[in-house]
Structure 1
Amino acid sequence: MMNNPYLKEYNCVRKNKGIVLFFVAIVVFVSVNSVYSAEINILSLKQEAEHGSIRAQEQLGRYYYYGKYINKDYQQAAKWFLKAAEQGDPDAQYSLGILYSRGHGVSQDYKKMFNWYTKAASKGMVEAQSDLGVAYEYGKGTTRNYKQAEYWYLKAAEKNYSAAQLNLGLIYLDGKVGAPNYSLAKEWFMHAANKNEPMAEFNLGRMYYLGIGVEKDDRKAVEWLQKGAEHGSMEAKNSLAFFYFNGNGGLPIDKDKAIHLLQQSAMQGWGEAQYNLGMLYEEGTDNLPKNYLKAYAWYSVASVNGKEEAKKNREHIGSQLTKGQMEEARVLSDEYIYKYHWQHD
């Protein structure tokens, strides 16, 4: 009998197809089995939670909050966090405070936020301690009290929590608990910057650029601003753009790079960068052609984000636009405000 060369190839293909189908079946089985296991896990978790398990109640609250293994439901998250919080669980107490802060699943209520943060912080929860410091610093849910803010920031900062270290540095820099203490400000910024906290890196750059508590040094300023920009600080990107525009701090003049940094910062919501872009579009450069519509739009969103000077500039631009151009400018402004309004707590 003659050997058929095509038969061998066909058999290999058939075998390979069988292998592929076999593995597809395994994947489908594992996927279905994982979903089934997750459903079983949720049912089991709910039963434990209903019987008073603090761990299960807190975990179920997190699952509902993040939509993990179950449909996202803030009201259900609040329900289960409350059950665990009332039994004294600090994680649930802090989570419930966040819900009241943001109005997720409950009516926004800073006083209740403050109360739950206080309970969690008193049990040593570092995130709650740091956020309680924020509440005291800005008077959210309580009377503003900088000494209490310092107290709670320090508790969290000493546990190596970078957000608290940054905030502690800022209140020393701004002199909110007495005269400005630049030495302590720098010390706490350095602690936070060593953990790649972008705002601490930005503030160190600002200190070196302005010579606040340190000898003025543009190269060190650039070094810290570059780190802050790399780690996402919109403030650092805006400031670093200035150095590229002017070729300071050992950097070459690179206006394309400067504009790119400004655009990144502006799109993150930083009003200063939005204002700067507005000026560039208003005046026009070799790297960025004059465009009154974009200038008007950037001034508009900068104004919304707290840059007061932008209002006057926007009105000046508006006086030079035709009725049709003004309509286009307003549409573009609405788009920019929707996209680039800085959303923060």
Structure 2
Amino acid sequence: MATKRMKKKKNTPQKRNSYITRLRELAQEDHPEALYQLGMEYLSGEHLSYNANCAFSYLEKSANHYYVPAMLELAFSYMTARGVKRDFEQARHWAKRALSLGSHEASDLLRQIDYSQVQEASNEKEYQQALKGYQNGDLKETSHLGECYIYGIGVTCDKEKGLALLHEALDQGYKEAAMLIGDTYFFDEELKNDAKALKYYQYGNQDNNKESLYMTGSIYINTYQDYNQGTAYLKKAAQYESAQAAYQLAIFYLGDNPHVPQDTKALKYYLQQALKADYEDAFEFLDYLHNEQSLKGRKVLSLDDFIELSQIAAKTKRPEDLNRLAFDYFKAQQTDLALKYLKEAANLGHEQSLRLLQVLSINKDDPENSLISAASKGDQSDAMNLASFYFSGIIVEKDIEKALEWLHIAYEKGSYEAGSILGEFYLTGEHVTQDTKKAISLLEDCAKHNNMRSLMILVDCYEKGIGVPKNKKKAELLKNRIANLENC
């Protein structure tokens, strides 16, 4: 769980020892926050060796002194069997106590506890079914039982036993077990061995299994830096309808990766595949491409290409995709079609579309002043929209200065997406005078509020020393935050 820590100065061994010593002194005096922080140090493994049992002990003492963050962590420990035997009733008890003391997080945690308890019962049933199948000689269930042991589904985790069961199924001709063995060697941190993973993915490759082809391509690219082999496998995976492979190829062909040359025709082709397969990340990537072209002036695809891709996306009838298609038609000066899709999005509850329709209806002869009036009185989204219109020339005449002005206003109104775009501009000198100090300040502020764009840019800054001293540890911490946000 996300927690706040005491602010610490530069992390030298002497100061680390002093910090831990001081925590221990305060903990002996039953200082609630110190007890909590000491427990969290045992969980983080940063200053003390990881020890979930010790962590639980300190968290329990802190919670008994009515310290709400400790109550939440204690509930989480009982829910996940972290340093203590799993006990859903105790988890609920501590979450409810935190809720009674005003914790907003406790409501979400109580829902997680309910879900986890239902899931545990389901896992137990799944394990018993797999065990019965294994005892009856069912190779599919033998493989499934191996999964249960590897991932602790309904049974205590035993990876060695799980792999043995998967090998037993594979040796008797159940090829699908090879994919699971490959996944274990690729994804499990303790057993990670990419060479072994690759060996077992090859079983699936012989039968053109799209998942194993994709994973093989990923290993060649990420582990061996062999982009020729890697992209060849990804293309074959996409050929066999792997939306994930198609999406990855679309990203590569954008041209941001120095190992893969830009190819807008291939970018469009593979993005089409991923969108048709309703691959969620592909829709976000299409948004990203729109922003790159409209906000940053980067030539990615033609307007006709964008309309074609947005039409595919809009078939899902998701309001945000209909809204995007409307904007493409506004840019193409096909106002009737733009309004048609804007109305469709508004009817499905898309707030931006509804507000834009309302604004445009106020003064059809002077849409610019109507938009300015709405953005001045409205919230961050209205200001952000107007900035976007000025950048791309949608509805109003293109005007970069006015676009920047409204981007600043959007940030002041609380749009961290606007702040991250401004930060990137100041970092690169695009549209503005380059100012790395101002850029980092903006990006750090937006990153504090979990803005994904800012976090990713800062990773690059700390890895390469752009505007800040190189700091690999800080870059890794930011990467971990990104991973946690993506898994939420």
Query: What TM-score range do you get, normalising by the shorter chain?
Result: 0.5 to 0.7
Q: Distance in 2 between matches of 1:337 and 1:176?
A: 23
**Cα 1:77/1:243, change in 2 over 3 Å:** farther
Please give the residue correspondences for 1:102-121 in structure 2 after superposition, counting only pairs within 5 Å: 102-104=187-189, 107-121=191-205
Q: Distance in 2 between matches of 1:336 and 1:143?
A: 24
Kindly state the Cα deviation for residue 198 of structure 1 after the two structures are TM-superposed: 2.2
* Pair member with larger Rg: 1
Kindly state the Cα deviation for residue 260 of structure 1 after the two structures are TM-superposed: 3.5
Q: Distance in 1 between matches of 2:156 and 2:214?
A: 30
- The yes-or-no answer on 1:128 pairing with 2:212 is yes
Contact 1:93 1:116 in 2 (8 A): yes
**Cα 1:57/1:338, change in 2 over 3 Å:** same
Unaligned segments of structure 2, at least 5 residues: 1-116, 314-319, 325-382, 396-402, 429-435
Q: Distance in 2 between matches of 1:204 and 1:302?
A: 16
Kindly state the Cα deviation for residue 55 of structure 1 after the two structures are TM-superposed: 0.7
Instruction: State the TM-score, normalizing by the size of structure 2.
Output: 0.41
Kindly state the Cα deviation for residue 192 of structure 1 after the two structures are TM-superposed: 0.9
Among 110, 128, 131, which residue is 1:46 paired with?
Answer: 131
**Cα 1:302/1:134, change in 2 over 3 Å:** closer
Number of the residue aligned with 2:268: 186
Kindly state the Cα deviation for residue 283 of structure 1 after the two structures are TM-superposed: 6.5
Among 140, 147, 154, which residue is 1:55 paired with?
Answer: 140
Q: Distance in 2 between matches of 1:100 and 1:38?
A: 23
Q: What residue identity is the alignment partner of 2:199? A: N
Number of the residue aligned with 1:154: 235
Q: What residue identity is the alignment partner of 1:161? A: S
Kindly state the Cα deviation for residue 177 of structure 1 after the two structures are TM-superposed: 9.0
Shifted more, 160-169 versus 81-90: the winner is 81-90
Number of the residue aligned with 1:5: none
Q: Distance in 1 between matches of 2:133 and 2:260?
A: 51
Contact 2:384 2:418 in 1 (8 A): no
Q: Distance in 2 between matches of 1:259 and 1:136?
A: 39
Q: Distance in 2 between matches of 1:184 and 1:117?
A: 26
Kindly state the Cα deviation for residue 113 of structure 1 after the two structures are TM-superposed: 1.0
Contact 1:118 1:128 in 2 (8 A): yes
Contact 2:134 2:142 in 1 (8 A): yes
Q: What residue identity is the alignment partner of 2:201? A: Y
Contact 1:168 1:185 in 2 (8 A): yes
Shifted more, 275-284 versus 152-161: the winner is 275-284
Among 204, 207, 210, which residue is 2:298 paired with?
Answer: 210
Kindly state the Cα deviation for residue 258 of structure 1 after the two structures are TM-superposed: 7.0
Q: What residue identity is the alignment partner of 2:269? A: E
Shifted more, 214-223 versus 106-115: the winner is 214-223
Q: Distance in 2 between matches of 1:166 and 1:135?
A: 16
Kindly state the Cα deviation for residue 77 of structure 1 after the two structures are TM-superposed: 3.2
Q: Distance in 1 between matches of 2:170 and 2:438?
A: 51
Kindly state the Cα deviation for residue 163 of structure 1 after the two structures are TM-superposed: 0.7
Number of the residue aligned with 1:22: none
CA displacement 1:70-98 (0-9 Å, x = unmatched): 34444443332233233443432112112
Unaligned segments of structure 1, at least 5 residues: 1-30, 231-240, 285-289, 317-332
Number of the residue aligned with 1:26: none
Contact 2:148 2:162 in 1 (8 A): yes
Instruction: State the TM-score, normalizing by the size of structure 1.
Output: 0.55
Q: What residue identity is the alignment partner of 1:212? A: V
Q: What residue identity is the alignment partner of 1:112? A: K
Number of the residue aligned with 1:329: none
Q: What residue identity is the alignment partner of 2:264? A: Y
Number of the residue aligned with 1:198: 281
- The yes-or-no answer on 1:282 pairing with 2:441 is yes
Kindly state the Cα deviation for residue 164 of structure 1 after the two structures are TM-superposed: 1.0
Among 409, 413, 417, which residue is 1:261 paired with?
Answer: 417
Q: What residue identity is the alignment partner of 1:340? A: R
Q: What residue identity is the alignment partner of 1:69? A: G
Number of the residue aligned with 1:12: none
Number of the residue aligned with 2:166: 81
- The yes-or-no answer on 1:305 pairing with 2:459 is yes
Q: Distance in 2 between matches of 1:303 and 1:169?
A: 21
- Structure ranking higher on relative contact order (CA contacts 8 Å, 6+ apart): 1
Kindly state the Cα deviation for residue 102 of structure 1 after the two structures are TM-superposed: 2.3
**Cα 1:184/1:41, change in 2 over 3 Å:** closer
Q: What residue identity is the alignment partner of 1:211? A: K
Q: Distance in 2 between matches of 1:100 and 1:272?
A: 38
Contact 2:181 2:200 in 1 (8 A): yes
Number of matched residues? 265
Kindly state the Cα deviation for residue 67 of structure 1 after the two structures are TM-superposed: 3.7
Kindly state the Cα deviation for residue 128 of structure 1 after the two structures are TM-superposed: 0.9
Kindly state the Cα deviation for residue 127 of structure 1 after the two structures are TM-superposed: 0.9
**In percent, how many aligned pairs have the same letter?**
16
